[in-house]
């Protein structure tokens, strides 16, 4: 017990990962029944399931370490929006399929090196979660990168849409790269992210937009407003029946 | 999920006509020997058309059926329930794929079937034209609607057409999980707060009668039951399946402490079955013909997803064509 306390990573790290997975899983689940083709509907639902599964495992770990009868659902449904630690990008509305696939690629390329490092870390319960999650993120990265390639190389319309998606998401990458995840090497992670994205951009003959110096207040406000709407929906029923079991 | 009385034909719509001759005789002999008919086998045109209509109605029902439950994924009240519901709705998409594939073995394309759905020419289970107003509806759909679907579908695992029968074996396994998770949602509501139990009761009140309608018209009014039975497609009649469903469900409702909204439900010792009240067939046909609470919204949601996804499919096709051309050029160069 003493050893696990010594090696446990800070709760803020766990919540950053958990909340990012939860909100991104929520956004992908909104596609369920509305995908561009049945096979993609099923694939996106699979990814949403992976992400919500990862969020659950992490929130259960946070709850266990907090004690005091805290549960995964208390953390997901009864925390106030400002207490969520997600990356801003995941809260944005889905937009079209290009925006969804571009975002999926940018996030998965970030998660793969994060999970890879954590899987080899000394926080063993977290390492076990990461060892499973990294396999799922690799699948997500391959799936999304394939679509970015198709859009870049497909039709004039798909190219216009993927370029527009990347331009609108790019400012949020600054936060992605600046976010510290304890137990991982930020420089290595970012190098891996860039290499992965660059390979897809090259194959799709897309140019990588320049990274802005910093996220503007406007971006933060947009993402916060989106998170507020998302959580209002996600938490609505649970909050109508506080204390109920489902 | 799904299905209602398979192969619903609305009065005035065309129905396949059985053809005569050697094909018919040899075919019926194979059916009598309980042999499976496979895609490459000779079959009467009427059998083929009936199967296309039935399997595609079933496939459409699975895909349209994703909508009423899908609307609650983002509001599921616990993470566990959210995961289960996502997996369930995903299964329905998978069932749609198996079934479209089974239909394609009969010489039609998925595109043409989907086009017929979007044009309002193809039917799907009318149960999905009712709204999901509360979380309890997710439990009720699993318990009652999927429960009714299983009653309909298990006999189809022995259907004479091989690809359909094999698809149904897998589908039924997953439906069984769906039914259990639905019952578990309703059970948790009934064991919960008074407000949760009231939510469950209100939901059962709305869904009971539409669920009974899923088995289709009475046998006396079911024009195609004879043919479908002769061809080994339909094994048990609508009324027999409906009775079986009522007999199974009445004790389950009693166990949960819920009341079914039919004062005529009573055990009939002489028949060895529960008696139950009269179904409002006017409502059934109204919904089948397009005038249910959500008919327009369901089709419009499917059409919107299809239309908004057109550029995605076109991009994938264009990229695939370019890749194929590039591979072919490399081969030539080599």
Residue B1: per-residue pLDDT:
44
Looking at residue A214, its pLDDT comes to 59
Whether B316 and A150 lie within 8 Å, measured CB to CB: yes
Chain A residues close to B82, C-beta within 8 Å: 29, 52
Number of A–B residue contacts, CB under 8 Å: 138
Q: Which of B94, B309, B311 is closest, CB to CB, to A35?
A: B309
Q: Looking at the complex, does the CB of residue B108 fall below 8 Å from at least one CB of chain A?
A: no
**Do the domain assignments include residue A167?**
yes
Minimal Cβ distance to A45: which of B90, B304, B322: B90
Asked if B66 lies within 8 A of A41 by C-beta distance, the reply is yes
- Does the ipTM surpass 0.90? yes
Cβ(A108)–Cβ(A144) below 8 Å:
yes
Region B12-17: mean pLDDT is 46
The pair of three-digit structure tokens given for residue B334, joined into one six-digit string:
């080599």
DSSP assignment, residue B332? H
Q: What is the pLDDT of residues B133-143, one digit of tens each?
A: 999 999 999 99
Q: What span, in angstroms and rounded, lies between the C-alpha atoms of B297 and B78?
A: 28
B301: which chain A residues are within 8 Å (Cβ-Cβ)? 33-34
pLDDT values of chain A reduced to their tens digit, one per residue, 246 residues: 444 455 899 999 999 999 999 999 999 999 999 999 999 999 999 999 999 999 999 999 999 999 988 999 999 999 999 999 999 999 999 999 999 999 999 999 999 999 999 999 999 999 999 999 999 999 999 999 999 999 999 999 999 999 999 999 999 999 999 999 999 999 999 999 999 999 999 999 999 887 666 557 778 888 999 999 999 999 999 999 999 999
Per the domain annotation, does A4 fall within a domain? Answer: no
Residue A75, domain member (yes or no)? yes
Contact A108, A193 (CB under 8 A): no
For chain A, the domain total comes to 1
Could you tell me what percent of chain A has a pLDDT over 90? 89
Q: What is the pLDDT of residue A221?
A: 85
The residue of chain B nearest to residue A95, with distances taken between CA atoms, is: B308
Q: Is the pLDDT of residue B325 over 90?
A: no
Distance from CA of A3 to the nearest CA of B (A): 30
The single residue listed with the structure tokens 């207040």 is: A217
pLDDT of residue B235: 77
The mean pLDDT value for B113-129 works out to 93
Query: Are the beta carbons of B133 and B206 closer than 8 angstroms?
Result: yes
Task: Report the residue from A35, A150, A246 with minimal CB separation from B319.
Answer: A150
Report the number of secondary-structure helices (H) and strands (E) in chain B.
14, 2
Q: What's the half-sphere exposure (Cβ side, CA atoms, 13 Å) at A230? A: 29
Q: Is A155 in contact with B315 (CB distance < 8 Å)?
A: yes
CA nearest B305 in A: which residue? A34
Domain assignment of residue A71, given as a range = 10-240
Instruction: Specify the DSSP class assigned to residue A71.
Output: -
Q: With an 8 Å Cβ cutoff, are B75 and A237 in contact?
A: yes
- Answer yes or no: is A245 within a domain: no
Both tokens of residue A16? 């950053």
Residue A38's pLDDT is: 95
Which chain B residues are within 8 Å of A155, Cβ to Cβ?
311, 314-315, 318
Looking up residue A83, the CATH number of its domain turns out to be 1.20.1260.10
Alpha-helix runs per DSSP H in B191-230 = 194-213, 225-230
User: Which chain A residue's Cα is nearest to B318?
Assistant: A154
Rounded Cα distance between B71 and B274, Å, is 35
Cα distances from B261 to residues B209, B277, B278, in angstroms, run 8, 10, 12
Label residue A245 left, alpha or beta by phi (over 0 means left) and psi (-120 to 50 means alpha).
beta
Question: Is residue A134 situated within a structural domain?
Answer: yes
- Nearest chain A Cα distance for residue B80, angstroms: 8
Contacts of A237 in chain B (CB under 8 A): 75-77, 135
B192-249 residue pLDDT tens: 999 999 999 999 999 999 999 999 999 888 766 677 788 878 778 899 999 999 999 9
Domain assignment present for A3: no
**A52 domain-assigned:** yes
Matching residue, tokens 């793969």: A112
- Residue B14: pLDDT over 60: no
For chain B, give the mean pLDDT. 91
- The pLDDT value given to residue A1: 43
Distance of CA B106 to the CA centre of its chain: 19
Whether pLDDT at B11 is above 80:
no
Answer yes or no: is A230 within a domain. Answer: yes
Mean pLDDT calculated for residue range B157-171 = 93
Cα distances (angstroms) measured from residue B142 to each of A52, B53, B88, B148, B149: 22, 25, 9, 9, 10
B21-52 per-position pLDDT tens digit: 778 888 899 999 999 999 999 999 999 999 99
């Amino acid at each position: 017990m003493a050893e696990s306390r010594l090696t446990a990573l800070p709760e803020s790290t766990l919540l950053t990962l958990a909340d990012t997975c939860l909100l991104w899983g929520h956004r992908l689940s909104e596609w369920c029944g509305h995908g561009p083709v049945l096979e993609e509907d099923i694939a996106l639902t699979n990814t949403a399931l992976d992400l919500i599964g990862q969020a659950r495992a992490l929130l259960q770990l946070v709850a266990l370490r907090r004690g005091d009868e805290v549960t995964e659902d208390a953390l997901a449904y009864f925390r106030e929006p400002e207490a969520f630690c997600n990356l801003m990008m995941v809260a944005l509305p889905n937009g079209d399929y290009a925006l969804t696939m571009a975002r999926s690629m940018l996030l998965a390329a970030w998660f793969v090196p994060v999970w890879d490092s954590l899987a080899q870390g000394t926080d063993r319960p977290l390492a076990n979660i990461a060892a499973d999650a990294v396999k799922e993120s690799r699948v997500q990265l391959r799936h999304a990168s394939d679509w970015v390639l198709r859009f870049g190389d497909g039709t004039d319309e798909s190219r216009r849409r993927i370029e527009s998606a990347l331009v609108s998401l790019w400012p949020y990458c600054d936060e992605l790269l600046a976010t510290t995840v304890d137990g991982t090497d930020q420089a290595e992670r970012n190098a891996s992210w860039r290499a992965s994205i660059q390979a897809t951009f090259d194959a799709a003959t897309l140019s990588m937009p320049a990274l802005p110096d910093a996220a503007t207040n406007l971006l933060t406000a947009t993402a916060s407003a989106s998170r507020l709407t998302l959580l209002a929906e996600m938490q609505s029923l649970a909050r109508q029946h506080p204390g109920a079991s489902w | 999920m799904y299905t209602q009385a398979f192969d619903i034909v609305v009065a005035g719509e065309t129905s396949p006509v059985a053809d005569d001759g050697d094909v018919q005789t040899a075919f019926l002999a194979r059916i009598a020997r309980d042999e499976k008919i496979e895609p490459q086998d000779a079959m009467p045109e009427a059998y083929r058309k009936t199967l296309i209509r039935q399997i595609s109605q079933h496939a459409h029902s699975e895909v349209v059926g994703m909508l009423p439950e899908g609307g609650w994924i983002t509001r599921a009240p616990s993470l566990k329930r959210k995961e289960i519901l996502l997996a369930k709705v995903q299964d329905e998409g998978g069932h749609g794929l198996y079934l479209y594939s089974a239909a394609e073995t009969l010489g039609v394309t998925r595109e043409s079937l989907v086009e017929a759905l979007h044009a309002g020419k193809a039917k799907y289970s009318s149960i999905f034209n009712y709204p999901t107003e509360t979380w309890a509806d997710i439990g009720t759909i699993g318990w009652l609607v999927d429960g009714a679907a299983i009653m309909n579908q298990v006999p189809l695992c022995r259907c004479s057409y091989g690809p359909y029968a094999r698809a149904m074996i897998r589908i039924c396994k997953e439906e069984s999980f769906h039914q259990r998770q639905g019952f578990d949602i309703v059970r948790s509501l009934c064991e919960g707060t008074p407000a949760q139990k009231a939510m469950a009761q209100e939901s059962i009140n709305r869904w009971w009668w539409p669920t009974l309608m899923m088995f289709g018209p009475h046998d006396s009014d079911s024009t195609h039951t004879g043919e479908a039975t002769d061809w080994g497609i339909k094994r048990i009649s609508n009324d027999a399946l409906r009775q079986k469903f009522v007999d199974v469900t009445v004790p389950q409702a009693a166990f949960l402490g819920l009341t079914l909204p039919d004062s005529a439900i009573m055990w009939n010792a002489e028949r060895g079955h529960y008696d139950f009240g009269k179904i409002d067939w006017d409502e059934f046909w109204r919904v089948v013909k397009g005038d249910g609470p959500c008919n327009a919204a369901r089709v419009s949601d499917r059409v919107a997803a299809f239309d908004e996804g057109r550029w995605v499919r076109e991009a994938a096709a264009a990229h695939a064509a370019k890749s194929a051309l590039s591979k072919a050029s490399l081969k030539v160069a080599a």
